[in-house]
Amino acid sequence: MLEVKKLSCGYGGEQVVNDISFTLSPGQRLVVLGSNGCGKTTLLRGLMGILPSTGTMEFDGRDLKAMTVREKGRTMAMLTQMNSVSFSYTVMETVLLGRYAHLEGGLFSTPGAEDRRMAEEQLKRLGLWQERDKRITELSGGQLQRVLLARTFVQEPRIILLDEPANHLDLKYQVELVEELKKWTSEPGRMAIGVFHDLDLALSFADTVLLMDRGRSVYLGSADGLDPEMLSRVFGIDVPGYMNASRRRWEKLRKSPYEAYPFLGDASDDLRCDFELMTDRMASEVGLLRAKVPDEGLKKELLWICELIYHMNPSLRTQLKVTEEEKDRLFAAVERLRVQCGDRCRRFVTPQGCETGCMAHILRVRGKELVRLLYRHIQQGHSVEPRLMDLANLLSGYFFYLALRLNADAGVDEIDFISRNY
């Protein structure tokens, strides 16, 4: 475990980072977010011991400041953004440099057979074995960054510090880099602290976030708990607005505006974007809560909700944690729904809109039923997960709104008929 308490550091006597504290357990991935100049890289340099600092830093009860250079090299490694290459080593020689913290003679020792085996393993893992004899000056930027990642892995640290390692990499290599780092931290006893400028990339990597503003911590907690308003204040821009606008731009790049969620008929781009965001949020909540709910009645209610959301947006299967058996049941249930709708809902905009409008109404009813069940549990003295109550209210509210937007004005009797038979 890494414990950092009231760490402060800076340059030339000027403090840039002030009183930063956090604890990191094996398997955790902490991402440091903040605007330019807030002290993110300075914090990493303070942790690494490159800059003088005050405060305490302990790893498994040992003072990091008291470690020798070799001990620290076996504990921590730092992967930075790609810079210009000064020496024309081969790929294999560069990767083997990561083993010197483990050699008794340090830089004056020669790596042995085991060191070379480890280097070979990492080069093959990262798709670089065919390049092992090339000079690193001959490599592309993406290849060079993977070589430096292999060197970092071969060093066998317990903690990796990442200082904007994805800068200057194209999209493919950014994603591959993050995936490799996530695999690495999944091994026992490993953890990572990273600085990323790309918020999407950062949040895809992080399970814990440290948000900094002017050298101080303003948020430390789960990535899911980040407050959009706080992010906007720190970055000086409407962050949710920017991210939603970006999402809409990608939506418009699809071959046809109706290929995404065709059941929404001729609904506007805004409605499509709202639908994607809301169902994604609900799917994540349902997927998490299904494992936590002990009551069979609530589990059944969540499964019905899960089936309907999955039919409306099948790409959410992972978040919903839908099994193959549940998937088969889902399609059988949807087929029954189609038959039961029959000619009852001809007032809808399109046949697909009819089906979706009915399901929107059913989800609203299911949300209200979930609220009723939860209140019954509370009256019986049972505790209720607050997020479950939030989900129930969200269901009953949002899908009523969606049904109205789709002109799904079926009467109450029709909705009750469909719900009962479903």
The string of pLDDT tens digits covering residues 353-362 is 445 555 566 6
CB-based contact 83:137 (threshold 8 Å): no
Residue pLDDT, tens place only, 76-132: 999 987 655 667 889 999 999 999 888 876 566 788 899 999 999 999 988 899 999
- What are the residue ranges of helices labelled H in 253-385? 269-290, 296-312, 317-320, 324-341, 351-379
User: How sure is the predictor about 5, in pLDDT bands with cuts at 50, 70 and 90?
Assistant: very high
Question: Residue 210's closest CA among 416, 64, 22?
Answer: 22
Please report how the helices 351-379 and 386-405 are oriented relative to each other, as an axis angle in degrees rounded to 10.
150
Q: Please determine, for residue 285, whether its predicted confidence score (pLDDT) is greater than 50.
A: yes
**pLDDT value for 175:** 84
**What residue ranges in 12-75 does DSSP mark as E strands?**
14-24, 29-33, 53-59, 62-63
Q: How far apart are CA 325 and CA 65, in angstroms?
A: 55
pTM here?
A: 0.61
Q: How far apart are CA 389 and CA 44, in angstroms?
A: 40
Q: How far apart are CA 144 and CA 128, in angstroms?
A: 10
Q: Indicate the pairing of strand 159-163 with strand 191-195.
A: parallel
Instruction: Taking residues 200-227, report their average pLDDT.
Output: 91
Q: 79-98 as b/e, with b when 16 or more CB fall inside 10 Å?
A: bbbbeeeeeebbbbbbbbbb
Residue 282: CB atoms within 10 A of its CB come to 24
Question: Residue 143's closest CA among 135, 218, 311, 61?
Answer: 135
Residue 383: CB atoms within 10 A of its CB come to 7
Residue pLDDT, tens place only, 135-175: 988 888 788 888 999 999 999 999 999 998 887 777 878 88
Two tokens, residue 97? 């440099």
- Average pLDDT over the chain, rounded to an integer: 76
CB burial of residue 326 (10 Å; 0-12, 13-18, 19+): middle
Instruction: Taking residues 306-315, report their average pLDDT.
Output: 64
Residue reference for tokens 């930075």: 80
Q: How far apart are CA 101 and CA 346, in angstroms?
A: 74
CB burial of residue 60 (10 Å; 0-12, 13-18, 19+): exposed
Torsion of CA 132, 137, 143, 149, to 10 degrees: 80
Question: Residue 77's closest CA among 164, 147, 157?
Answer: 157
Residue pLDDT, tens place only, 372-406: 777 777 777 776 666 666 766 666 666 666 655 55
The dihedral region occupied by 49, where left means phi > 0, alpha psi between -120 and 50, and beta the remainder, is: left
Q: How far apart are CA 382 and CA 86, in angstroms?
A: 66
Please report how the helices 269-290 and 386-405 are oriented relative to each other, as an axis angle in degrees rounded to 10.
150
- CA 380, 382, 386: angle at the middle one, nearest 5? 125
**Cα distance from N-terminal residue to C-terminal residue, the chain:** 51
Residue pLDDT, tens place only, 33-61: 999 989 999 999 999 999 999 999 999 99
Instruction: Taking residues 9-35, report their average pLDDT.
Output: 93
Q: CA dist 187 to 47, 97, 191, 204, 279, Å? A: 22, 22, 9, 18, 32
Percent of the chain residues topping a pLDDT of 90 = 32
Question: Residue 180's closest CA among 151, 222, 211?
Answer: 151
**pLDDT value for 118:** 93
Residue pLDDT, tens place only, 219-273: 999 888 888 888 888 998 888 777 776 766 665 555 444 445 555 555 566 666 6
**pLDDT value for 420:** 41
Which helix (H) or strand (E) is 145 found in, with range? helix 141-154
